[in-house]
A and B are shown apart, each in its own frame.
Chain A
């Protein structure tokens, strides 16, 4: 990569780097710095050299896997040995997956969870961020720490902890609920899909919220303090100030935060794998769990089917990403317009 095509054209001159006078426009290549200053040939070599490790990682772990997933999805492949030995089934895997009731359910569950969790975590974290920035708040450091600490724990470990806390037999949460006579019977929080997903949405919010509080605080701090002071002089109360000044001004940032929130929730796996293993039955399957189940949890690995599911999932994310990307770039333009 670093052997630039220029090597053949220009004579080697190592001394050029220490003599700025020698820099002259190079024909054909038009390699310049951001400011438009033509690049030295040696620097161009360095640039390509600096990009090589990145290109290797990016092509190997981002681009190539996607190509291969699409390729796998056309074969009846078990993940062992050569793909060429597997039989080509055309769109057979897609046909199977889209008609598979379990996949349909996984797909619907993924959307349901994503939307539900986003609707809980965004407003709650926004409220807490607003409160944390109030000048009259005491013990600010303590509160910030409390809401941030769970983020340090891996979701998988949080899920295991909650598995015990929620246990209907002697889990602490049920003990507290019955002990304090809030409910007469212990609740099985993972008994069926609706309650299991509600539980997962709440406890995953518990784990992730610190991150969103920080996002919102960063957004809120961009609003110029002088605007609030002006509004106060005009007699606007706290709610009016939030509604008419804060919200319109942070809308561009809010779009970015919400988009990241959606895309991240879409990848739910750990919570389901640990708390319900997709059960009872297959009622709490999500797409990632379906892929895992098909590829790694059966005696004969079904990489083909799993890849078809993964491809459909990737397409969905791509569509969301494109839509979101459009909205975000419009939001970014607005941000520049507002100067925040």
Chain B
């Protein structure tokens, strides 16, 4: 009885410590949200207080209109959605083929993926820039989307691993019933939802968070900037407009938080799936 009592006290201390840590942890996240409602004067003299003395809404209007922000936000959403769809579609087909079948060239393709899997962005960005230029897609949306989608090697490996782990009898039974490649692939759809979620989420967040590629690919056409690159330009041009910046940051969080709210379970499972192979 005594032992249980002592443990509880320790637990209470841990919970209090975690609460304190969470407050610190939340502060940088909440700072732009609350700052977005402050006036410029209050912002400048704000100190570390979060709560606005007076709630003001025209920061959002200013950020939205003057900084071309709506455009950047739309760009970010379009790039992330299209490149994710592209990457999931392409790698699902390739992963399925590599997992389910053994054909001439199979081993070569798998070795190729493994050998080139972890090429750092810095190592490949200049030729990608050059390639997009040669294709005549520099300073266009498709060019940026292609560069963001990249080689899809990692997601293909994820699909390949997942399809290999499925019971093959299922496919063989379907094949006996006369189902060909396409039908067997469609049949497996309900089973592979988790790995679709994993690749979609990893793809979406990595495109959403990417900075190097959109920065380099929008040097020649500011209209194509993403939120991150646009906000950076905004801070360099209007370095004093802190509350406008905060409003921009707050707006930029809305799409990804909406996606997260809808697919929360998939986010957690999807991320965990990435390390389980």
Closest to A172 in B: B48
A154: chain B residues at CB < 8 Å are: 208-211, 227-228, 252
Chain A contacts of B118 at CB under 8 A?
263, 317-318, 321
Contacts of B209 in A (CB 8 A): 154-156
Q: Which residue of B lies closest to A147 (CB)?
A: B25
Say yes or no: B257 contacts A33, CB within 8 Å.
no
The reply to whether the CB of A228 lies closer than 8 angstroms to some CB of chain B is no
Q: Does B28 lie within 8 Å of A54, measured CB to CB?
A: no
With A253-B275, A267-B120, A288-B122: A17-B127 Cβ-Cβ less than 8 Å: no
Looking at the assembled complex, report how far the CB atom of A337 sits from the nearest CB atom of chain B, in whole angstroms: 16
Chain B residues with CB under 8 A of A39: 101, 103
Q: Tell me the complex Cα distance, A64–B216, Å.
A: 19
Q: List 23 A-B contacts (CB under 8 A).
A: A5-B104, A37-B175, A39-B101, A40-B180, A48-B103, A55-B94, A60-B151, A63-B116, A65-B124, A65-B126, A137-B18, A150-B25, A151-B205, A152-B253, A152-B257, A160-B235, A170-B44, A206-B25, A206-B28, A267-B122, A291-B125, A307-B126, A311-B123
On whether the beta carbons of B22 and A142 are closer than 8 Å, the reply is yes
Interface check A89, CB cutoff 8 A: no
Chain B residue numbers with a CB within 8 Å of A120 are: none
18 extra A-B contacts, CB within 8 A, seeds A150-B28, A310-B123: A33-B101, A39-B103, A43-B180, A50-B96, A58-B116, A58-B152, A62-B150, A68-B127, A134-B14, A153-B29, A154-B208, A154-B210, A154-B252, A156-B211, A157-B231, A157-B252, A214-B272, A215-B275
Whether, in the assembled complex, A31 has its beta carbon less than 8 Å from a beta carbon of chain B, the answer is yes
In chain A, residues 164-209, which have Cβ atoms closer than 8 Å to a Cβ of chain B? 164-165, 170, 172-173, 175-176, 179, 203, 206
Pair A143/B22 contact, Cβ less than 8 Å: yes
A interface SS class: helix
* In the complex, A249 has a CB within 8 A of chain B: no
Q: How far is the CB of A134 from chain B (nearest CB, A)?
A: 8
Please report which residues of chain B, range 189-232, place their CB below 8 angstroms from some CB of chain A when the two chains form the complex. Answer: 205, 208-212, 215-216, 219, 227-229, 231-232
Other-chain residue from B18, B152, B172 in contact with A37 (beta carbon distance below 8 A): B172
Q: Does A211 touch B at the CB level, under 8 Å? A: yes
A270 touches B28 (CB 8 A): no
0 or 1 for each of B17-46: is its CB under 8 Å from A? (1 = yes) = 011001001111101100000000000111
- The residue from A34, A61, A143, A295 contacting B124, defined by CB atoms under 8 A apart: A61
Contact A172 B122 (CB under 8 A): no
Q: B59 contacts which chain A residues (CB < 8 A)?
A: none
Are B122 and A313 within 8 A (Cβ)?
yes
The number of chain A residues touching the other chain, given as a range, is 35 or more
B93 touches A53 (CB 8 A): yes
A252 to chain B, nearest CB (A): 11
Contacts of B150 in A (CB 8 A): 57, 61-62
B102 and A42 form a contact (CB under 8 A): no
**Residues 98-124 of B contacting A (Cβ, < 8 Å):** 98-104, 109, 112-113, 116-124
Residues of A within 8 A of B253 (CB): 152-153
B139 at the interface (CB under 8 A from A): no
Contacting residue for B168 out of A20, A34, A263, CB 8 A: A34
Contacts of B29 in A (CB 8 A): 149-150, 153
On whether A164 and B122 interact (CB within 8 A), knowing A29-B104, A51-B97, A206-B28, the answer reads no
CB–CB A218/B272 < 8 A:
yes
Task: Take A62-B151, A66-B124, A154-B227 as given contacts and tell me if A214 and B249 are in contact as well, using a CB distance cutoff of 8 Å.
Answer: no
A138 to B164 alpha-carbon distance, docked (Å): 39
Q: Could you tell me which residues of chain A, from 1 to 49, have a CB within 8 Å of some CB in chain B? A: 5, 17-20, 29-35, 37, 39-40, 42-44, 46-48
- On whether the beta carbons of B227 and A17 are closer than 8 Å, the reply is no
Asked if A257 CB lies within 8 Å of chain B CBs, one says yes
Is A91 located at the chain interface by the 8 A CB criterion? no
In the bound complex, residues from chain A placing their C-beta under 8 Å from that of B85 are none
Instruction: Confirm or deny: A101 has a beta carbon within 8 angstroms of a beta carbon on chain B.
Output: no
